[in-house]
Amino acid sequence: MSNILQALLNIAEKPVTALKSHYSSRNTINNVGEALETYIQDAFAGTISEKNIEKRNEKISCTFSYLGNQNNPPDMILAGGDAIEVKKIQSYNSAIALNSSYPKNKLYADDHKITTACRTCEEWDIKDIIYAIGVASDTELKHLWLLYGDCYAADREIYTRIGKTIHDGVTQIPDIEFAETKELGRVNRVDPLGITNLRIRGMWHIDNPLKVYQDIYHKKAAKSFSVVCLMREEKFNDFNLLEQQNISSHSNITIIDVKIKNPDNSAQLINAKLIVLELV
């Protein structure tokens, strides 16, 4: 079963910054966003250098139980392991656009935003989720975050109560035709002619990790490429000892014990591991 530590080691051994040119030979890769998602797949599957498409497909199939689409989270699920959501931004200061999906501390099988294929890809109820956030130009990957949702997002109740309040509020408006929808709301036949409909949908954004965690990490301008992993200490301790040792002994990787604010209660600090890969 693959995991985030194996992916980091694979990236350290085969860093690919010129994403578009690296994946340009694949006819299905149209832009750097798709190339980033493919690179994340390859990092976890250990297929960054694999040129044989058939062999790569076999390894990808063994590594992942689910590969998703752009409209429904997550982008992928490791077989027997974590879910992964990939996001691309062009600026170090850009917020992360999550569109209609609120930030997730975990992925839940009863989330109506996920597909049936995702829900039934294996037996599961709750999965840890990794946000893979790449800072990339139209051609180059400059920086990559791999951070767990339970370091980044609050409990789902914090977000769902907002949607429920909006949903309930719309239904209280007199003399409207309210339709059932998976969005925040839909009002049909708004005007006297009955030809105008209103869709109410969320457009979620979350601050860039470089801003959220600026007290524990600063991007070094002199480094051409960097990867930063952030996870709770207990998550790191769940990995086997050999994987921990391989990470800690790598010449370009540094592991730092840090304390971060609890996303559910900012008065509390939780122990975490900041793992940094930097290349000149």
Residues 130-141 have pLDDT tens digits of 999 999 988 889
Strand 141-148 and strand 185-188: pairing? unpaired
Assign 26 a pLDDT band (cuts: 50, 70, 90). low
Rounded to an integer, the average pLDDT of 164-176 is 77
Q: Is pLDDT at 271 greater than 70 in this prediction? A: yes
Domain-ending residue, one of 145, 174, 199:
199
* Mean pLDDT of all residues in 142-159: 96
The answer to whether residues 136 and 235 belong to one domain is yes
Same domain, 147 and 242: yes
Structure tokens, 2: 């693959």
For tokens 């199939």, name the residue.
61
* 92 and 25 together in one domain: yes
- pLDDT of the residue at 42: 96
Residues 243 and 230 in one domain: yes
Do 221 and 187 lie in one domain? The reply is no
- Tell me the pTM: 0.91
Is the pLDDT confidence value at 193 over 90? no
Q: How confident is the model at residue 22 (pLDDT cuts 50, 70, 90)?
A: confident
Position with higher pLDDT, 152 vs 189: 152
More confident residue, 203 or 7: 7
Before 174, cis peptide (omega within 30)? no
Residues 138, 32 contacting (CB under 8 angstroms): yes
Indicate whether 105 and 70 sit together in one domain.
yes
Residues 33 and 105 grouped into a single domain:
yes
**22 lies in which domain range?**
4-154+203-279
Question: Over 90: is that where the pLDDT of 235 sits?
Answer: yes
Distance CA(7)–CA(236), nearest Å, equals 14
Rounded distance, CA 120 to CA 221, Å?
44
Are 145 and 51 in a shared domain?
Answer: yes
Do 167 and 256 lie in one domain? The reply is no
| Average pLDDT over the chain, rounded to an integer | 91
Does residue 70 share a domain with residue 168? no
Higher-confidence residue of 103 and 166: namely 103
Mean pLDDT on 106-126: 95
Quote the pLDDT of residue 143: 94
- φ/ψ (deg, to 5) at 210: -60, -30
Span 33-88, pLDDT tens digits: 889 999 999 999 999 999 899 999 999 999 999 999 877 899 999 999 999 999 99
Q: Considering its fold, how many domains does the chain have in total?
A: 2
Same domain, 150 and 170: no
d(CA 101, CA 110): 14
Which of 199, 227, 261 terminates a domain? The answer is 199
Residues 178 and 82 in one domain: no
